[in-house]
C-alpha cells in the first residue's frame, strides 16, 4: 500500500529520505486521480524497500502542495535525496512511471 504523505510527516519521510521518493498528488473528487491510483498502489508493492511510493491528498495537505506549486492533479513528483528530479502531470501509463523511477534508482 502506498505511504500516506501529509504536511506533518513530509519533512521526515520525504526531505530526509536519502533515496528515491515518488509522490502522487491527488484528491478524492479527481477522476484522473482515481485512474492512476491503482498504478501507484502496484508501484508501492513492487518498489517496497527500494523507493518510497506515497500519496498526498491536496485537499487535506495544502502546505506541501503549495510548496511545490501543484496546480493540476494528478501530479507525480519524483524526488531523490529530497530534491525534485522528475515530474509527471496528468494520467500516464505504468510503464512511463517505471521508466522514470528506474532512471533515478
Instruction: Output the nine-digit C-alpha cell for 20.
Output: 528515491
Q: Could you say which of 22, 33, 44, 64 is catalytic? A: 33
Told to judge if 10 belongs to the known catalytic residues of this protein, a careful annotator would answer no
DSSP secondary structure of 84-103: EEEEEES---HHHHHHHHHH
Q: Could you say which of 2, 5, 23, 30 is catalytic? A: 30
Told to judge if 30 belongs to the known catalytic residues of this protein, a careful annotator would answer yes
Backbone angles phi, psi at 23, to 5 degrees: -120, 125
The three-state (H, E, C) secondary structure of 42-78, written as one string: HHHHHCCCCCEEEEEECCCCHHHHHHCCCCCCCEEEE
Active-site residue list: 30, 33
Amino acid at each position: 500500500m502506498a505511504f500516506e504523505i501529509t504536511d506533518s510527516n513530509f519533512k521526515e519521510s520525504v526531505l530526509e529520505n536519502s533515496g528515491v521518493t515518488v509522490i502522487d498528488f491527488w484528491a478524492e473528487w479527481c477522476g484522473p486521480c482515481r485512474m492512476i491510483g491503482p498504478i501507484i498502489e502496484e508501484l508501492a508493492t513492487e518498489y517496497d524497500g527500494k523507493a518510497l511510493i506515497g500519496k498526498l491528498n491536496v485537499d487535506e495537505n495544502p502546505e506541501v502542495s503549495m510548496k511545490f506549486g501543484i496546480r493540476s492533479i494528478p501530479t507525480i513528483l519524483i524526488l531523490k535525496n529530497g530534491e525534485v528530479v522528475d515530474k509527471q502531470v496528468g494520467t500516464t501509463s505504468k510503464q512511463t512511471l517505471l521508466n522514470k523511477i528506474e532512471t533515478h534508482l
